[in-house]
Homo-oligomer: A and B are copies of this chain.
Amino acid sequence: MATKIALVGIGKIAVDQHVPALKASADWDLAATVSRSGRVDGIEAFTDMAAMLEARPDIPVVSLALPPAPRFAYAEACLKAGRHVMLEKPPGMTLAEIHMLEVMAAERNLSLYATWHSRMATGVQPARDWLADKVIRRVHITWREDVRKWHPGQDWVFEPGGMGVFDPGINALSILTEILPAPVRVIKARLETPENRQTPIGAQITFSDNVTMDLDWRQEGPQTWTIEAETDGGTLTLTDGGANMSIDGQAQVTDGDREYPRLYARMADLVKTGARDMDLTPMIHVSDAMMLGERVVVEPFHF
């Protein structure tokens, strides 16, 4: 009894993650795509959202894998057409627009899911469980990658609203806010912004409770996505973006990449029960860092 779903925005993330996850799932039947240029072999392809909603009233769920800037208009159209909606991260360009979508979905009893794929990495739930009864003394996030490798030529990440290095950094924040037993708040932020760009390429964030974060988009060679938590019961380390978890250097869990299959399993549950899952905490921290951050101009960046 697979549920029909339409996938919107057939770019790199859709091809790499969404399509394989949907094809492998018994919950879902990928019934249509909407994209200006991309398509998936054997699946009905639309280039226009309104046309898809009109032609396929039999598809009750839409997954939006578009960049954040155009996403609001698509999500609004889907909700107004009575469809359940799943949102790639970050769930929008502004907090206000996401609150508006929540209200629209609630008024229509539709499911709406602000996904955070990194929260579904294999080490995250074990890390949360392990930390629950510890005294946490210090947490440090190191998230260093090469923007030229992951966003080749994508100028939009450096344009207003593109979030800059917070685009990957929000993944770290989605894990942090999932595993910590109590909330934290940004106290100070240093935002390194290239002279010729609008958004930061590096950032150092100080949170309350001895939590710090180091984000950098200029790391060539090996890439680092690590969260380390020192506690009264030892040191927990999440590496590879949450995939692997160790305590005092001893590996605890290792598993293949199951992030997107788990997101779609969660969406299937939400649709079954008519529920919504809209935790905006990771984005609130980005927003807070941008609001109170000190801007430091660094050398120009060119792809």
**Which residues of A approach B to under 8 Å, CB–CB?**
72, 93-97, 99-100, 103, 160-161, 163, 183-186, 188-189, 198, 281, 284-288, 290-295
Q: Can you name 13 A-B residue pairings with CB atoms under 8 Å?
A: A93-B292, A94-B284, A95-B95, A95-B287, A96-B184, A96-B186, A96-B284, A96-B285, A100-B183, A160-B188, A160-B292, A287-B287, A290-B291
- Do A185 and B291 touch across chains, with their CB atoms under 8 A apart? no
Q: Give the chain B neighbours of A94 by CB distance below 8 A.
A: 185-186, 284, 288, 291-292
Residue of B nearest to A159 (CB): B294
Q: How many Å lie between the Cα of A292 and that of B285 in the bound state?
A: 14
Q: How many Å lie between the Cα of A189 and that of B184 in the bound state?
A: 28
Closest chain B CB from A156 CB (angstroms): 12
Q: How many Å lie between the Cα of A100 and that of B281 in the bound state?
A: 11
Q: Give the chain B neighbours of A185 by CB distance below 8 A.
A: 72, 94, 96-97, 100
- Do B184 and A294 touch across chains, with their CB atoms under 8 A apart? no
Residue of B nearest to A162 (CB): B292
